Structure 1
Amino acid sequence: MSRVAPILGLLLSAHAFPLMAQSAPGGTIQVVADGAVGQPGSAAYPSDARLSTVAVAARVDPEAYILGAAWLQPALQRDQLRLRAGIVYELGAIRRQALAADNTALAGAGASFQAWISARPITGRRTGAALDPSRLEATPAEDWPVHEGDTLFYPRRPVGIRVVGAVEKACRLPHVPLQDARRYLAACPASAAADPDQIYIVQPDGAVFAQNIALWNRDAPRPLAPGAWIYVPFDRHAIAGAADETFNRDVADFIATQLLSDEGWR
């Protein structure tokens, strides 16, 4: 998102994200375990420790929701801050363009979602990592090294799903087993600013999928896991010229960095 470069100098200054401490060979690193674990908090580990080292030592609760577990890395925060800044900037551009075109529905939806995105935390979550302690011990290829300042977070199982984006109001809805994602929209209507043809699904492990929902292009049903998100994208034709072609996918990718916690339900 090259158009946001001028505003990133201050956000991404050397003071915004201090360099991570480096451990000497044979030394130790500090890694945090949080959430549904028997041994929460920061602990010292060998500098060559791996995900399984921390997960086993933390004593993950059998009731923890492994699908929503998160590996947080300070090294990823810079790129996620850049991504959020770009989304916020483009939402502002969408609003200005909509106001100029007298499209009050799009202008209002853009402003509302801009405020929501701006309030989302920068987590440093690395998506796509397996964090089941048993699986990690049995699958060395997935047992990645951890680094100074990393956190493993194991949430409790949630009971709902969330719908955000170009909707009349962001919603938290009860999870319905095996229900197709698009059927949740009946209880959380899209606004006039929404793309009529597609939604994005963000599963609790951070996997992102686009799902076509119109009669002419409808995809096969896609059930959601508890804790999933539905992002209702902005109409790609209405926002053309104010936002990049990848805008809606960028939003879904940013949502994938959020955690299953009380903060995430807001």
Structure 2
Amino acid sequence: MKTLALAFMLCGIVPAGAHAGTLDVAARGAVARPGTSSYPDDARLSTVAHAVGVSPDAYTIGAAWLQPSLHVDQLRLKAGLMYELGAIRRQAMGMGNDALAEGAASFQAWFDTLPVTGRRPQSVLDPLRLDVSPPDDRPVHAGDTLVYPARPSMVRIVGAVARACSLPQVAMQDARRYLADCPVTRAADRDAIYVVQPDGGVFEQNVALWNRADPRPVAPGAWIYVPFDRRAIAGAADDTFNHDIATFLATQLLDGDAWR
């Protein structure tokens, strides 16, 4: 028994119920040892990442750190955005803007299906990177979960488009070029799009002829959000509405229902 306990400790895992001062953290996806294990209460991301045995095939750029402590703020964000989508639809109906009213209603119905995950975007979860970057090696907390997905091959386009699209990712292709295969509607903002990379980083990219930004390639598993026309939604939604939508998309998981 002492030998077994020593083996667990060398891996950074404390047998459940071994002693006080431990916390439970779960892992799933492309790992050798999925499930919930107990760790010392000073454990960090690297402690868990090494203990669970992250597969070489794991898509670590799209890995997710889920924290229950973030659920409340994300739930509030989603509720506020759902309310604003309803307000946009009602205002558009009153102004006879059928394209915007229909687009807001359709997007609201889809957006309502997205889960509140508690994901902390832009967290480094690659075990090797954590070893050489102490500032990224943050403490974990009881109830946290690390998710290591397999590498995807698609890019998802949502928002003010005729229909949501999943398109094959093309190496080094500018985000704007994906829109040729996923037409936008008359409700779309013509000046910019939002790119949500698989690590949860959110970038606004200007795409109009007068303000076009440098090309921005997207990684497999990225979102492209086509925003609703900021002028048409003024008065019904905050100025940050479109950015907030992209921010919520950044909390979604690559192994979640939104990608199925």
Fold match, TM over 0.5?
Answer: yes
Deviation, 1:68, is 0.1
Equivalent position of 1:257 in the other structure = 251
- Summarize deviations over 1:7-55 as a string: whole Å, max 9, x none: xxxxxxxxxxxxxxxxxx9511110011100000000111111000100
Equivalent position of 2:83 in the other structure = 89
Q: Secondary structure at the match of 2:258?
A: helix
Deviation, 1:135, is 1.3
1:128 aligned to 2:122? yes
Please give the alpha-carbon distance, in whole angstroms, between the structure 1 residues aligned to 2:231 and 2:118: 32
Equivalent position of 1:138 in the other structure = 132
TM-score by length of 2: 0.92
1:226 aligned to 2:220? yes
Please give the alpha-carbon distance, in whole angstroms, between the structure 1 residues aligned to 2:41 and 2:64: 21
- Summarize deviations over 1:209-260 as a string: whole Å, max 9, x none: 0000000100000000000000000000000000000000000000000000
- Summarize deviations over 1:114-137 as a string: whole Å, max 9, x none: 111111000000012111101112
Please give the alpha-carbon distance, in whole angstroms, between the structure 1 residues aligned to 2:44 and 2:191: 43
Q: Secondary structure at the match of 2:104?
A: helix
Which residue identity lines up with residue 241 of structure 2 in the other structure?
F
1:49 aligned to 2:43? yes
Equivalent position of 1:241 in the other structure = 235
1:112 aligned to 2:106? yes
Which residue identity lines up with residue 53 of structure 1 in the other structure?
T
Please give the alpha-carbon distance, in whole angstroms, between the structure 1 residues aligned to 2:152 and 2:258: 11
For residue 205 of structure 2, the aligned residue among 191, 211, 231 is 211
1:157 aligned to 2:145? no
TM-score by length of 1: 0.89
Computed over aligned residues only, the root mean square deviation of the Cα atoms, in angstroms, reads: 1.0
Deviation, 1:60, is 0.3
Equivalent position of 1:174 in the other structure = 168
Please give the alpha-carbon distance, in whole angstroms, between the structure 1 residues aligned to 2:137 and 2:189: 40
Deviation, 1:170, is 0.4
Equivalent position of 1:10 in the other structure = none
How many residue pairs were aligned?
Answer: 242
Q: Rg larger in 1 or in 2? A: 2
Deviation, 1:142, is 1.2
Please give the alpha-carbon distance, in whole angstroms, between the structure 2 residues aligned to 1:230 and 1:127: 16
- Summarize deviations over 1:131-169 as a string: whole Å, max 9, x none: 110111222221100000000000000001000001000
Q: Percentage identity across aligned positions?
A: 65
Which residue identity lines up with residue 193 of structure 1 in the other structure?
A
Equivalent position of 2:8 in the other structure = none
